[in-house]
Structure 1
Amino acid sequence: MFPSVALLTLSCLAVAYGQQVGTLTAESHPKITVQKCSASKSCSTEQHSVVLDSNWRWLHSTSGSNNCYTGNTWDTSLCPDPTTCAKNCALDGADYSGTYGITTSGNALTLKFVTHGPYSTNIGSRVYLMDTSDSKYQIFNLKNQEFTFDVDMSQLPCGLNGALYFVEMDADGGTSRFSGNKAGAKYGTGYCDTQCPHDIKFINGEANILGWTPSPNDTNAGSGQYGTCCNEMDIWEANSQGAAVTPHVCSVQGQTRCSGNDCGDGDNRYGGICDKDGCDFNSWRMGDQTFLGTGKTVDTSKKFTVVTQFLTSNNSTSGTLSEIRRLYVQNGKVIANSKTNISGMSNYDSITDAFCNAQKTAFGDNNSFERLGGLNVMGQSFDKGMVLVMSIWDDHAARMLWLDSDYPLDKDASQPGVSRGPCPTSSGNPPDVESQSPGATVIYSNIKYGPIGSTY
C-alpha cells in the first residue's frame, strides 16, 4: 500500500483495542470455502473462516465493560503504561454482520464500507483467512504457485480500495513470541505491513500508547511511537476505476516493531527498513488507459477472475522468485495483462526486477525496492509463509489518489508515472466518500491456489 499513513483510515466509530480476551460477546468466525488445486486442475474444497482485525474490536476493562480506548484517546487509569494496559484490557468478540458489515456465503466474502450498527457506525474493515483449525492464520507459500479469486468491485467508486494481499504475520498472531498477547489469531492480532503503521493499538503484546497522538483529520485514529513492519505482497488494490499489483519488501523477516528512523516516517520515507513505494503494475499508470475500468477490456462493472502467478528461476518451489505474472478471466475469456507503453521502457507485461528498475528510472522514482532486495526477498518471504488479508478502506492521508488519479499533486500530470487513473484530483475525500457511498461493497469469492496453470 502506497501512502505512509494510509492505514490510519481503517477505523470504527465506537471501537477500542487490546490483547486479553473478553467474555461479553462470543467470537464466531464467518465460514468460507477455499479450493486447493493440483497440477491436473483437480481442486479440493477446504473449510476455512475469516477473523476481524483486533484494531476494530471493542476493548474494555477485564473486570467490567469500561472502555480502555474511546474515539482516539486512551483511558490513562486503565492504561498508564504499555504493559499494564495489556493486562487491564480485553478484546471481545465481534458481531460481524450487524456491526461491521462482514458476511460470508459459501465461497464468497462481502465487505460493506459503512455499517450503521445498533451502537456505532463502522467505517471499513480488515479480515484474515484462518486455517482449517480456526485457531491460526492460514499460511501461504506461493513460489512456483498461482493464486486466483473472483472479485466484484462494481460498487467501489473513486477514493475506495478493495484490497486483497499477503503480509508476513505470525501464524498465531504473536502469542508464542510475546507473553503480553493472550488473544492471538483468534481475535485478529499481530498485523504488520511495509508502511510500518503506527495506528496499530497493540504491538508485540504491549499497548502502543507511548507518544500517542490523535489524528488531526480522523476522530477515531491516532499514532503511537512504534510501527509494525513486515514484507507485503499486494495482489489486488483496486476500485472500479483502477487497480495495481505491487510487491513491497523489507530488510527484516517477520513482524518487526520499529521506532525512530527505522520506521521510515515523513522525510525519512526511503531510510527505513521497508520499501513503502513497492514496484507497482497499474495498467493506466503504465500507459494503457483502455485496459481496466467500466466497459473496458477488463470490465469492472461485472465480476471477473484475477490470476496471479509467482514464477521461479528453475520452475520449482525451491527456486528464486523471478517474475510475477497477471492474467484475467471474464465471460469465459482469458485476458492477458496489458503491456507498458512508456517512453524509455520495453513492452513489459509482468513484474520482474528488470521491469521494476526500468519503471523507477522512467518515472524518476526512488528505487528502494531494488535496494532492499527486490523479488528475491519477496520470494524469501513466501518461503517463510504469508497470511491472506482482505479489506475495504478509504484514505485520510492521500485520498487514494496514488491508486486512481494524479499523484503526487505537486507534479505535472503529463509527466510519466504521475497519472494513475481517471478519477479527478478532487475525489477521495473520506467525509465525502463515506456520506455519498455508504453502501459501497467489495465481494471476493472462489479463492483457489495451486501449481501454475491449475486454478483457471
Structure 2
Amino acid sequence: MVDIQIATFLLLGVVGVAAQQVGTYIPENHPLLATQSCTASGGCTTSSSKIVLDANRRWIHSTLGTTSCLTANGWDPTLCPDGITCANYCALDGVSYSSTYGITTSGSALRLQFVTGTNIGSRVFLMADDTHYRTFQLLNQELAFDVDVSKLPCGLNGALYFVAMDADGGKSKYPGNRAGAKYGTGYCDSQCPRDVQFINGQANVQGWNATSATTGTGSYGSCCTELDIWEANSNAAALTPHTCTNNAQTRCSGSNCTSNTGFCDADGCDFNSFRLGNTTFLGAGMSVDTTKTFTVVTQFITSDNTSTGNLTEIRRFYVQNGNVIPNSVVNVTGIGAVNSITDPFCSQQKKAFIETNYFAQHGGLAQLGQALRTGMVLAFSISDDPANHMLWLDSNFPPSANPAVPGVARGMCSITSGNPADVGILNPSPYVSFLNIKFGSIGTTFRPA
C-alpha cells in the first residue's frame, strides 16, 4: 500500500519543497528549565528557558501514516531510496519527555534518567524559544551549574557541553529541513558522528549500516567544534575542548570524517585530574565529594580580558558546602604545575603522553575562541559507551596498556567495568541532575559562604 500511496502523492503534486517533515501524532511540548544570567552590577536574573530532545532519538515515520522509516534492516527502501526522497516522505514526531525518555525538569533542575522502559540514554538542547536553540557567547564570561553524579556508576557519562550547531537547527540553511530546532535537528560534534540520521536536510541513507531498528551509521558525518565542559560519573571527570578547521556544522564524507586527521580534533586537550596526577581529587569522600551535589565553575579568559580578545585560557574550580575548591594542580613529569587549560599546557600534555597534538593542528584555543565568539549551543546527555565502555574517562585506556605509563590511567574504575549489558542491571536507576545553570561576567555566578 505504501507504493500506491506515494505514487498518488506524487501525482497530486503534494511533495515538492517540503522535506524532513513534522509529524502530528504526538504533540511537541518543550519542558521548561529556568536559567540565570548574571552581571556585576545587577546580580542574577532568571529567565524561563526550555529544552528539546535531539532529533536522533525521535520516531521517524511516513508522512502518509505510521510506517517507520527506519527498521532493524535499515532505511525503508520504498520511503527512503535516497536521502532527498527520504526527507520528503519521512517526518519527525513529538515525544513524551518523562514517560518515554525519563527526562524531567522542575524549576532550575534537569534530571536525565539512564533507563526508562526500553529507552536507554538521551540528549537534549537548551532553547531560546520554541524554534531556536540558545547560543552562548562565552569569551570573557563564566558558566556555573550544580551537578549530582552520585548515582552515575563506572561506564556512564553525564555530560554538559557546547557544540557549534546552527541556532535554528539548520532549517534556514537547508531547504530539506522543515523540522528545525523545534524538533532537535542539526546535531554535530568533533567526532563527526555518522549515526546522525538527517544531515543537511537529507537522510543519511547512503552506506547505512543498521545496528538496531533506530540506530546505525551512514556514509556521512556531521562535524563541528565541541567544548566538553563536563563529562563525568561518580568516579572521574574531564574538561575537554575540541577544535575543527571549520567551526560551524559541516557534513563530512570519506577521509574528512576520520578522527583527528579529518575536519576535527576528536581527541581534544583534556583536563582529567586523575590522569594528570591527582588521584584523590574527585570521587566519593574526596576533595570534590561526588556523593553530594557541588557547583562547577568554568571561566573563559581572553588575551585582553574583553569579549573581543583571543581565548587564551580555560579555568576551572568547584564550590561545595560553601567552600571554593581550586582545580587540581598537574603532577606529571614534563607538564607544568598548572590547573587550567592553555595552549602551552596542551602542547606539554601531548608530548608527555606521547600523543599527537591534533588540538593545535586544528587551531587550538584561538580556533575555539572563534566558535565561542559566534555562539555555541548547550547540550546535556546521559550515555553509555558500547565501543570502549567509557574506559577513556574513568579507567585505564587503552585497557591493554601499562597503567604506570603517563596518561593511561584516567580513573579508579576497573578495565572490566562499563559493559552496557551490565551497567543498568548492576546499578539500578542511574541518573544525572543539572541544576542552577548560570552564566555571566567573570566572578558573578557563584557566591561562596
TM-score when normalising by structure 2:
0.94
Query: Is 1:44 aligned to residue 45 of structure 2?
Result: yes
Q: Show the counterpart of 1:84.
A: 85
> Which residue type is aligned with residue 129 of structure 1?
L
Q: Show the counterpart of 2:312.
A: 322
Matches within 5 A, 1:205-220: 205-215=201-211, 220=214
> Which residue type is aligned with residue 194 of structure 1?
S
Query: Is 1:129 aligned to residue 123 of structure 2?
Result: no
1:179-223 C-alpha deviation (Å, 9 max, x unpaired) = 0000000000000000000000000000001001123xx675210
Separation of aligned partners in 1, 2:111 and 2:73: 27
Q: Show the counterpart of 1:428.
A: 418
| Secondary structure at 1:305 match in 2 | strand
Matches within 5 A, 1:120-159: 121-131=118-128, 133-159=129-155
Separation of aligned partners in 1, 2:215 and 2:90: 18
Please point out which of 173, 179, 200 is paired with 2:175: 179
Q: Is the 8 A contact 2:143 2:299 kept in 1?
A: yes
Q: Show the counterpart of 2:360.
A: 370
CA displacement at 1:41 relative to structure 2: 6.3
Q: Show the counterpart of 1:254.
A: 248
Q: Show the counterpart of 1:53.
A: 54
Query: Is 1:245 aligned to residue 267 of structure 2?
Result: no
Alignment length (residue pairs): 428
Query: Is 1:334 aligned to residue 324 of structure 2?
Result: yes
Q: Show the counterpart of 2:407.
A: 417
Q: Is the 8 A contact 1:19 1:181 kept in 2?
A: yes
Please point out which of 361, 368, 372 is paired with 2:351: 361
- The structure with the larger Rg is 2
1:360-387 C-alpha deviation (Å, 9 max, x unpaired) = 0100011000111100001000111100
Q: Show the counterpart of 2:11.
A: none
Aligned-pair identity (%): 59
Change (3 A) 1:72 1:311: farther
Q: Show the counterpart of 1:192.
A: 188
Separation of aligned partners in 2, 1:71 and 1:113: 23
Matches within 5 A, 1:396-411: 396-411=386-401
Separation of aligned partners in 2, 1:103 and 1:406: 33
Q: Show the counterpart of 1:11.
A: none
Please point out which of 262, 269, 273 is paired with 1:272: 262
> Which residue type is aligned with residue 135 of structure 1?
T
> Which residue type is aligned with residue 376 of structure 1?
A
Separation of aligned partners in 2, 1:391 and 1:270: 23
The structure 1 segments of at least 4 consecutive aligned residues displaced by more than 2 Å after TM superposition are 218-221, 434-438
> Which residue type is aligned with residue 423 of structure 1?
C
Q: Is the 8 A contact 1:240 1:293 kept in 2?
A: yes
> Which residue type is aligned with residue 204 of structure 1?
N
CA displacement at 1:273 relative to structure 2: 1.1
Separation of aligned partners in 2, 1:212 and 1:168: 25
Separation of aligned partners in 1, 2:421 and 2:72: 16
Separation of aligned partners in 2, 1:407 and 1:77: 43
Q: Is the 8 A contact 1:114 1:123 kept in 2?
A: yes
| Secondary structure at 1:383 match in 2 | helix
Please point out which of 297, 302, 307 is paired with 2:297: 307
Q: Is the 8 A contact 2:155 2:419 kept in 1?
A: yes
Q: Show the counterpart of 1:100.
A: 101
Separation of aligned partners in 2, 1:94 and 1:111: 15
Q: Is the 8 A contact 2:71 2:213 kept in 1?
A: no
Q: CA RMSD in A?
A: 1.1
Change (3 A) 1:220 1:25: closer
Q: Is the 8 A contact 2:20 2:89 kept in 1?
A: no
Query: Is 1:453 aligned to residue 447 of structure 2?
Result: no
Separation of aligned partners in 1, 2:196 and 2:433: 25
Separation of aligned partners in 2, 1:250 and 1:185: 22
> Which residue type is aligned with residue 288 of structure 1?
N
> Which residue type is aligned with residue 242 of structure 2?
H
> Which residue type is aligned with residue 149 of structure 2?
M
Please point out which of 216, 221, 224 is paired with 1:227: 221
CA displacement at 1:411 relative to structure 2: 1.9
Q: Is the 8 A contact 1:248 1:278 kept in 2?
A: yes
| Secondary structure at 1:365 match in 2 | coil
Q: Is the 8 A contact 1:41 1:455 kept in 2?
A: no
| Secondary structure at 1:241 match in 2 | coil
Separation of aligned partners in 1, 2:214 and 2:27: 24
Higher mean C-alpha deviation, range 435-444 or range 106-115: 435-444
Separation of aligned partners in 1, 2:151 and 2:73: 30
| Secondary structure at 2:132 match in 1 | coil
Q: Which ranges of structure 2 fall in alignment gaps of 5 or more residues?
A: 1-18
